[in-house]
Structures are given as C-alpha cells and as structure tokens.
Amino acid sequence: MSDRALSDPITMRLPVDVLTEIEEIAAISNRSRSWVFVRALKAYLASEGREIIELAQAKRDLDAGKGTELDAIIDEVEAIAKGAAA
C-alpha cells in the first residue's frame, strides 16, 4: 500500500457518458475509477488549471504594481530591432 496522503472522500455527479468512459478506461487498464479520475484531474491541472492559476497570479502582480508598461516594452523591442538591423 502507498504511504501517499489521501483526502477525505468526495461525492461528485457526472454525466452518464463521462462515467461510462471512465469505467471503460478503468476496466481496460485494470485500474480503479479513482485512479482514472486522479489521472484526468492531474492532466487538467497541468494544463488549463495551471494557466488559470498563472493568470490569476499575473493579475495580482499587476494590481500590486509589479508590471511593466506596454509602451516601455515596445520601446525596448524597437531599440533591439534597430540594433540588430545596424
């Protein structure tokens, strides 16, 4: 048995078609439904979920004055481009 810490059980309602696919994947891979759920959630968290968190952090940073004005970035890019063209 794994020493991994587990949460309390949760209850969730799913569309029947989603649950059917989860059960089919679990049966084919000889795994539990929980295993399939965790894998699916980890994949979501690694992509779209991570993006949501990063965008929220960026907004907090901007609200805290940690951003750079777009005009300053454009000026810097133009200066680099002019230097590269010379």
pLDDT tens-digit map of 51-74: 999 999 999 998 998 988 889 899
Full-model pTM: 0.62
Could you give the CA distance from residue 54 to residue 46 in angstroms, rounded to a whole number?
11
Q: How many CB atoms lie within 10 A of CB 40?
A: 14
> Please, which residues have CB within 8 angstroms of residue 36's CB and are 6 or more apart in sequence?
22, 25, 26, 29
Q: What are 4-14's pLDDT values in tens digits?
A: 788 888 899 99
Structure tokens at 44: 């979501």
